[in-house]
């Protein structure tokens, strides 16, 4: 596709439910990154993929968070048993190796 695509754009979920967020990177981009951003705060790194492997997943805040990437393309970030503190904008970015990274429009997650 022309840019990084994330879905859904908005997600409201009840506390305790599981959610899946999807990222479709720019075609051919080998690197894929997940960050999250709470209101008025900076970017918080979650996980980084190079191809299908994750050399850096040091930012995942708890074992409720997991992510996978298949076929070197689409990535899914899963949050199990959501908590209110998980409410944030989840941003995905992709790049060709370690060059310029481009962001998707984000998924706004609200846990009620």
Partner 1 sequence: QKEVEQNSGPLSVPEGAIASLNCTYSDRVSQSFFWYRQYSGKSPELIMSIYSNGDKEDGRFTAQLNKASQYVSLLIRDSQPSDSATYLCAVNMDMGRRALTFGSGTRLQVQP
Give contact residues for partner 1 (rule: CB under 8 A): 31, 33, 35, 42-43, 45, 47-48, 50, 55-56, 59, 89, 91, 93, 95, 97-106
Q: How far is the CB of 81 from partner 1 (least distance, A)?
A: 25
Of 19 and 93, CB closest to partner 1: 93
Complex with partner 1: residue 25 or 104, whichever CB lies closer: 104
Question: Per DSSP, which regions of 1-112 are E strands?
Answer: 5-7, 10-13, 19-24, 31-37, 44-50, 53-56, 65-69, 75-79, 88-95, 101-103, 107-111
């Amino acid at each position: 596709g022309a840019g990084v695509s994330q879905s859904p754009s908005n997600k409201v979920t009840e506390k305790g439910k599981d959610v899946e967020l999807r990222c479709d990177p720019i075609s051919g981009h080998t690197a894929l990154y997940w960050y999250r951003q709470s209101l008025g705060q900076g970017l918080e790194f979650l996980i980084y993929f190079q191809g299908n492997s994750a050399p850096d997943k040091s930012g995942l805040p708890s074992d409720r968070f997991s992510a996978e990437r298949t076929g070197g393309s689409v990535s899914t970030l899963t949050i199990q048993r959501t908590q209110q503190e998980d409410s944030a904008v989840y941003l995905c970015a992709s790049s060709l190796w370690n060059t310029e990274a481009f962001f998707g429009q984000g998924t706004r997650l609200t846990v009620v």
